[in-house]
């Protein structure tokens, strides 16, 4: 079975078109900081002293400043710029690691599907989410074969009804709009044939820059003339929920600046806001925090996997269900901001699951935190 590794790789390009690898030099700089010696750092990396200096000089030439400071009797230390290079690579990895691992598993799935039939692989079609990515990572760590395809929620449920996947991941709001959203999935879910597995409860809300400079308070602010919004793609569960919530408070989505945009993941939404390309986004809490944004809670929702009831006790679903109920996996999901996996691995019938609980606040806004 092919395994794919995916990592953040940062390249610097100056105005003259010259390039240098920040990602290759950052580990060398970390060793310089630890050892106080370029020679020792080069040796630890298996590089000649000359080659190590060449890498450093190439990057210095591109960024326009010195990465290392040397003083007689004190060895070598990182300059402020050198430390910034190290921090940049760490930042890229910390913010992207989980998503990159999920992407690597998805790419590997595509390649393996074309190379050979993967007997025993669990086929997951799911709306994008951090708990789903955590499950994929846990399955990969357990050496389980996984075919993951991130799709719109409705597409995932339709695929299950056609027998194209083993697990279909989708989400439903708690309280207001539960019934309306549930009816979208109802035509493809059979009470006798299918069952729902609860993955997690999670929060969706508004992404705003740190400090909330435009003083956004809730969904009503999307109608302001000074707000640029970035949206999920049509057909996604998040987009459907947002359409309903806005119309409930009398806002025409067509009048919102940027509402017609279409990004495929919560992380992409957060990246737009973090880069200044948008003032406001809507998605799950971990994405906001990964990109250094503030988060305004709007609605609680349940994330489910739908599957064939008759296949629960056989491979590969039996193994997935056991993993979902494992305390170590539950703890990993619990560490995601705004996620509550207390019911992770719980089975419920279609009618009961779609009906859900009651008493959740209507999605009309909240306070930043």
pLDDT at 104: 74
Stated pTM of the model = 0.69
* Joined tokens for residue 19: 């390039």
**How far is 59 from 36, CA to CA, in rounded Å?**
19
For residue 244, is it within any domain?
A: yes
Residues 98 and 125 in one domain: no
**How far is 9 from 22, CA to CA, in rounded Å?**
8
pLDDT at 323: 97
pLDDT at 62 over 70: yes
CB of 140 closer than 8 Å to CB of 101: yes
**How far is 160 from 188, CA to CA, in rounded Å?**
8
For residue 365, is it within any domain?
A: no
For residue 361, is it within any domain?
A: no
For residue 363, is it within any domain?
A: no
Q: Residue 295: how many CB atoms within 10 A of its CB?
A: 25
**How far is 7 from 72, CA to CA, in rounded Å?**
38
Q: Which residue has the higher pLDDT, 124 or 99?
A: 124
Query: 182 in helix, strand or coil?
Result: helix
Torsion 187-191-194-199 (CA) sign: positive
CATH number of the CATH domain containing 20 = 1.10.10.10
φ, ψ of residue 230 to 5 degrees: the values are: -125, 135
Q: Looking at 61, 80, 112, which one is the last position of a domain? A: 112
Q: Which of 107-121, 196-210, 340-354 has the lowest mean pLDDT?
A: 107-121
Q: DSSP state, 164?
A: S
Confidence of residue 98 (pLDDT cuts 50, 70, 90): low
Which long-range contacts does 82-86 make (Cβ < 8 Å, 24+ apart)?
82/29, 82/32, 83/29, 83/33, 85/22, 85/25, 85/26, 85/29, 85/59, 86/26, 86/29, 86/30, 86/33
Residues 97 and 141 in one domain: no
Residues 44 and 157 in one domain: no
Confidence of residue 365 (pLDDT cuts 50, 70, 90): very low
Residues 205 and 336 in one domain: yes
pLDDT per position as a tens digit, 199-238: 999 999 999 999 999 999 999 999 999 999 999 988 888 9
Q: Looking at 97, 112, 127, which one is the last position of a domain? A: 112
Confidence of residue 340 (pLDDT cuts 50, 70, 90): very high
Tell whether omega for the bond before 43 is within 30 degrees of 0, i.e. cis: no
pLDDT per position as a tens digit, 113-143: 555 445 578 999 998 889 999 999 899 888 8
For residue 187, is it within any domain?
A: yes
Domain that holds residue 26: 1-112
- Scored b (16 or more CB within 10 A) or e, 30-63 reads bbbbebebbebbbebeeeeeeebeebbebbbebb
Mean pLDDT value of segment 296-314: 96
Q: Which of 155-159, 272-276, 363-367 has the lowest mean pLDDT?
A: 363-367
Highest mean pLDDT among 118-127, 139-148, 171-180: 171-180
Count of domains in the chain? 2
Confidence of residue 256 (pLDDT cuts 50, 70, 90): very high
Mean pLDDT value of segment 323-349: 96
Confidence of residue 109 (pLDDT cuts 50, 70, 90): low
Mean pLDDT value of segment 350-358: 82
Mean pLDDT value of segment 326-345: 96
Residues 216 and 234 in one domain: yes
Confidence of residue 52 (pLDDT cuts 50, 70, 90): confident
Residues 125 and 264 in one domain: yes
Residues 169 and 259 in one domain: yes
* Length of the chain as a residue count: 369
Spatial CB neighbours of 314, under 8 Å, sequence gap ≥ 6: none
Confidence of residue 185 (pLDDT cuts 50, 70, 90): very high
For residue 170, is it within any domain?
A: yes
pLDDT at 249 over 90: yes
Residues 269 and 341 in one domain: yes
For residue 367, is it within any domain?
A: no
Q: DSSP state, 236?
A: S
Residues 269 and 349 in one domain: yes
CATH number of the CATH domain containing 288 = 3.40.190.290
Residues 97 and 161 in one domain: no
Helices (H), the chain: 22-35, 38-44, 49-63, 80-115, 130-141, 153-161, 178-185, 237-248, 266-274, 285-290, 317-324, 327-334, 350-355
pLDDT at 360: 35
For residue 205, is it within any domain?
A: yes
Residues 148 and 46 in one domain: no
CB of 118 closer than 8 Å to CB of 145: yes
Residues 93 and 122 in one domain: no
Helices (H), 71-129: 80-115
pLDDT at 188 over 60: yes
CB of 240 closer than 8 Å to CB of 232: no
Q: Residue 228 class from Cβ within 10 Å (0-12 exposed, 13-18 middle, 19+ buried)?
A: middle
Q: Which residue reads 């990182």 in tokens? A: 78
Q: Looking at 86, 112, 138, which one is the last position of a domain? A: 112
């Amino acid at each position: 079975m092919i395994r794919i590794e995916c990592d953040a790789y940062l390249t610097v390009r100056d105005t003259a078109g010259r390039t240098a690898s920040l990602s290759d030099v950052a580990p060398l700089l970390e060793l310089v900081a630890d050892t106080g010696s370029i020679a020792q750092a080069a040796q630890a990396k298996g590089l000649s002293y000359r080659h190590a200096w060449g890498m450093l000089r190439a990057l210095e030439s591109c960024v326009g400043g010195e990465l290392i400071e040397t003083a007689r009797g004190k060895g070598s230390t990182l300059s402020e710029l050198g430390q910034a290079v190290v921090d940049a690579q760490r930042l890229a990895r910390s913010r992207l690691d989980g998503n990159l691992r999920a992407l690597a598993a998805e790419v590997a799935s595509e390649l393996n599907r074309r190379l050979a039939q993967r007997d025993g692989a669990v086929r997951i079609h799911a709306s994008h989410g951090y708990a789903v990515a955590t499950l994929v990572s846990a399955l990969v760590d357990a050496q389980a074969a996984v075919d993951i395809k991130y799709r719109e929620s409705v597409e995932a449920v339709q695929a299950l009804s056609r027998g194209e996947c083993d697990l279909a991941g989708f989400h439903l709001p708690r309280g207001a709009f539960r019934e309306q959203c549930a009816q979208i999935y109802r035509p493809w879910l059979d009470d006798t044939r299918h069952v729902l597995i609860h993955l997690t409860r999670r929060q969706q809300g508004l992404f705003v820059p740190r400090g909330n400079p435009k003083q956004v308070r809730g969904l009503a602010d999307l109608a302001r003339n000074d707000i640029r919004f970035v949206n999920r793609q049509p057909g996604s569960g998040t987009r459907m929920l947002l359409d309903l919530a806005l119309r409930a408070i009398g806002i025409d989505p067509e009048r919102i600046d940027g509402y017609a945009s279409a990004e495929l993941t919560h992380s992409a939404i957060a990246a737009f806001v973090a880069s200044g390309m948008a003032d406001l986004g809507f998605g799950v809490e971990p994405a906001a925090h990964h990109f250094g944004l503030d988060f305004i809670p709007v609605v609680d929702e349940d994330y489910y996997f739908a599957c064939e009831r008759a296949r629960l006790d056989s491979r590969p679903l039996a193994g997935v269900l056991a993993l979902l109920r494992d305390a170590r996996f539950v703890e990993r999901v619990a560490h995601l901001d705004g996620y509550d996996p207390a019911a992770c691995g719980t089975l419920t019938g279609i009618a009961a699951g779609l009906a859900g609980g009651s008493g959740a606040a209507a999605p009309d806004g909240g306070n930043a935190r």
